[in-house]
Structure 1
Amino acid sequence: MASRLTAKGAATRQRIIEGAAEEIRERGVTETTLDDIRSRTATSKSQLFHYFPSGKEELLLAVARHEAGRVLSDQQPYLGELTSWEAWRNWRDAVVDRYRRQGQRCPLGMLTSQLTQATPGAQAVTTELLASWQAQIAAGIRVMQNRREISAGLDADRAAAALLAGIQGGVSILMATGSLAHLEAALDLGIDQLLGAPAPEPGAPAG
C-alpha cells in the first residue's frame, strides 16, 4: 500500500508507525492496544484500518521494519564510512552507545517474537537487516584491503559475518544480564583481529 499513497497519506502512515513504535517501547508489544496507538497518534479507527487493513499484525510488521531500519541508522555515518582504523573505533563506540541507550528491552526482538512465520515478510525483516549490516561491514573491510591495511587474503564476507555474529551474541547477553561487557569484547577483539591481520608485502601475491 505504501507505494500507492499520496505524500500526505505516506506521512500519516509513517506517523502511525512511529507513534506505535514509541508506544511499544514504553509498554511492550502485548500491553499495547490499537486504542493506545490511536490515542497516541490522534488517528481514528477508520484511518488506522485504511493504512493497515489487516489490523494489528500488519501494523506490527511495519513497526518491525521501522525498528530494523533504526538499528542501522543509529550506527551512521560510521557504519557506511569504515575507511580508517579511527572510523572503525568510532563505529564500535556508536554500536555500544546504541545498545547502552536501548538497554535490556529490544523493540525489534519483542516485535518479531509476536509475528508468526505465516505473516508475509516477517522473516525477511531480520534477514534483510542482517544482510545489509554484514554487507556494510564487509565493504569497510574491502576498503582497508585496498589500502593494504588488511590482508588481501582475508575473506571479507566471512570476517564480517563473524564480527556480526559476535555483536549479536553480545546483544543477546545484554538482553539477559544487562551487561555490555560481552558486546564490547566481541567488537574490540573482532576489530583487533582485523587490525592484526598481516598485510602482504608490496608486490607480493594476495592470499
Structure 2
Amino acid sequence: MPDVPTAKGRATRARIVEGAAEVLRERGVADTTLDDIRGRTGTSKSQLFHYFPEGKDQLLLAAAQFEADRVLADQQPHLGCLDSWESWQRWRDAVVERYERQGDHCPLGSLFMQVGRSRPGARAIVAELMRQWQQQLADGMRALRANGLVSSTLDVDRAAAALLAGVQGGVAIMMSTGDSTHLKAALDTGIAHLRATAGESAGA
C-alpha cells in the first residue's frame, strides 16, 4: 500500500476505495471498469493511478480489505460485547440478518476470485479477518467465563475456532442454496454448546 502522508490524501484514497466497493457490489467484478469507478468517485485517471499505481488489481485488493472490514463492522456493537447470553443472541441475529441481506452474492469472494486467493496480499486479508473474528469470539467466551456463565475449563480459543468454522460453513451453504437454515443451525448449536458447559462445570 503506498504511503498517503496527508489527511486529505488519506480521505481521497478512502473515498475512492469505498466508491469502488459500491460499484463492485452493484455490477460485479467482471463488469466493472476503472472508468466506472472514476465516474462514481469523481476522480481523474491520473489521480486514480496516483493512489493505485499498480492499477486495477491493487484497487481490487483495497476494496477487498474494505469489504473484509465491513464483515466485522456489520456485527458490531454485539461482537465486541459478548458478556451475556442476551448479547450472544443479539450477535447471532445480527450475523443471520447480515448474510440473509447479502444473499447469494459475496462481494469479498468475488474480489478474491478476480485478484487470486494465492496472492500474498489476498491471503493476508483473509487471514487477518479470520484472526480478528476468532479473537473477538474468544474474548466474548472469556467474558462469559469471568461471569460464571460457562465452565472455567472451557478452551475458549478452540471453541471460538469451531464456532467460526461453523459460521463459515453455514454461509458457504447459504450462498450455494439461498437457504440460511445451516447458518442458523451452526450458530444455535455453537451457542448451545457454550451454555451446556456451565452445567458440566456445576456437575464436576
Amino acid at match of 1:184: K
Aligned pairs for 1:30-41 within 5 A? 30-41=30-41
Unaligned stretches of 5+ residues in structure 1: none
User: Deviation at 1:152?
Assistant: 1.4
User: Deviation at 1:139?
Assistant: 0.6
User: Deviation at 1:200?
Assistant: 2.9
Unaligned stretches of 5+ residues in structure 2: none
Q: Pick closer, same or farther for the CA change 1:142–1:95 going to 2, 3 Å.
A: same
Amino acid at match of 1:47: Q
**1:63: which partner in 2?**
63
The 8 Å contact of residues 138 and 159 in structure 2, kept in 1 or not, is answered as: yes
Aligned pairs for 1:1-207 within 5 A? 1=1, 3-116=3-116, 119-197=119-197, 198=199, 200-201=201-202
Calculate percent identity across the aligned residue pairs: 61
The 8 Å contact of residues 149 and 199 in structure 1, kept in 2 or not, is answered as: no
Could you say what secondary structure the match of 1:81 adopts? coil
The 8 Å contact of residues 148 and 199 in structure 1, kept in 2 or not, is answered as: no
RMSD (Å), alpha carbons: 1.5
Could you say what secondary structure the match of 1:200 adopts? helix
Give the length in aligned residue pairs.
Answer: 203
Distance in 1 (CA, whole Å) between partners of 2:4 and 2:103 is: 37
Distance in 2 (CA, whole Å) between partners of 1:178 and 1:105 is: 10
* TM-score normalised over the length of structure 2: 0.95
User: Deviation at 1:157?
Assistant: 0.5
Distance in 2 (CA, whole Å) between partners of 1:40 and 1:137 is: 36
Task: State the Cα deviation string for residues 68-105 of structure 1 (Å, max 9, x = none).
Answer: 00000000000000000000000000000111111110
Q: Pick closer, same or farther for the CA change 1:177–1:105 going to 2, 3 Å.
A: same
Task: State the Cα deviation string for residues 106-160 of structure 1 (Å, max 9, x = none).
Answer: 0001011111356441100000000000000001101111122111111101100
Distance in 2 (CA, whole Å) between partners of 1:118 and 1:53 is: 21
Distance in 1 (CA, whole Å) between partners of 2:27 and 2:175 is: 17
Distance in 2 (CA, whole Å) between partners of 1:190 and 1:174 is: 18
